[in-house]
Amino acid sequence: MKKLGIFILDLKEYITLAVLIVISLVLIFLNDNPQIRFLRAAAITSFGTVQSGISAIPNVFEMEKENKELREDNIKLANEISSLKESKLENIRLSRLLNFKEKIIPGVISGKIINKSLLQTRNTITLNVGENDSVAINMPVITDDGLVGRIVSTSRNYSIAQIIYNKDMRITVKVQRNRLDGILSYDGVSNLMVNNIQKSADVNVGDVIITSEYSNIYPPGIPVGTVSETGNLDNLFKKVVVTPLVNFLTLEEIFVLKFVSSKERSELEKAFQKK
């Protein structure tokens, strides 16, 4: 009790002030004087405004939390929609390839491109199939649109193919319409050219270029491209520019043809050239 008394004595000024404030408030609220009524109304309005502002603070934090959750949900939904679109496009591509695979001769290996270069003079693609999948050097690489290139290097699970946009590539081709022969090559800049076409030859824009039976690497008849430009290269030969049928910018899935060049033919032709 002594400690309580000392505590009350220490706070007597605050207690006195609180009692006086309470008495003043009581007198104010009991007084009907117009000025007192005005002050009372102003005090009540101020108190209500402050209370409303204070009560709104938790709502602000709650709204921020809800907005954050909504943004996260939007990101998740956007990712799901993107994945569904990608799956749909992949299904379309694979369906086209499957239909093409059923139409061509047996002996193809389906694969996907995991790396590619398109801005160099010697462009290549890296495939996710290799020796374990029966891929071998010089096998042709195609799509349902046409010729892509040929295998030049292999490992157990991967392989590298030269594409037709490669300065080291030389492909014997012909004009499908009139069976005119030529050699397809890349100029190292942007154009595929058919060389050794005589100036007087009948080649028109829109003609389809296909692989020739003279090749020992590619089976005959694979579509390569269409003629997009003709002109005079010099006094003897015609300039023939070809646009490939394969879109290398969007290319993702390919087929490797199990077409192996004839060793007997190669040895015979090499031996004859040495004579």
pLDDT in tens, 218-258: 988 999 999 999 988 778 899 999 999 999 999 998 999 98
pLDDT category of residue 55 using cuts at 50, 70 and 90: low
Asked if residue 254 lies in contact with residue 141, where contact means CB atoms within 8 angstroms, the answer is yes
Question: What is the per-residue pLDDT for 66?
Answer: 74
- Give the domain ranges of the chain: 108-260
Asked if residue 107 lies in contact with residue 142, where contact means CB atoms within 8 angstroms, the answer is no
Pick the closest to residue 212 from 147, 138, 132 (CA basis).
147
End-to-end CA distance of the chain: 130
Burial of 119 per CB tally in 10 Å (0-12, 13-18, 19+) = exposed
For the stretch 99-143, pLDDT in tens is 655 555 557 899 999 999 888 889 999 999 999 999 999 999 999
Question: DSSP code of 12?
Answer: H
Mean pLDDT highest for which of 48-52, 105-109, 116-120, 151-155? 151-155
Mean pLDDT along residues 70-98: 64
- In CATH terms, the fold of domain 108-260 is Thrombin, subunit H (2.40.10)
Mean pLDDT along residues 14-33: 61
Whether 9 has a pLDDT exceeding 60, the answer reads no
pLDDT category of residue 167 using cuts at 50, 70 and 90: very high
Is 178 in a helix, a strand, or coil?
A: coil
pTM of the model: 0.63
Helix (H) or strand (E) holding 38: helix 34-103
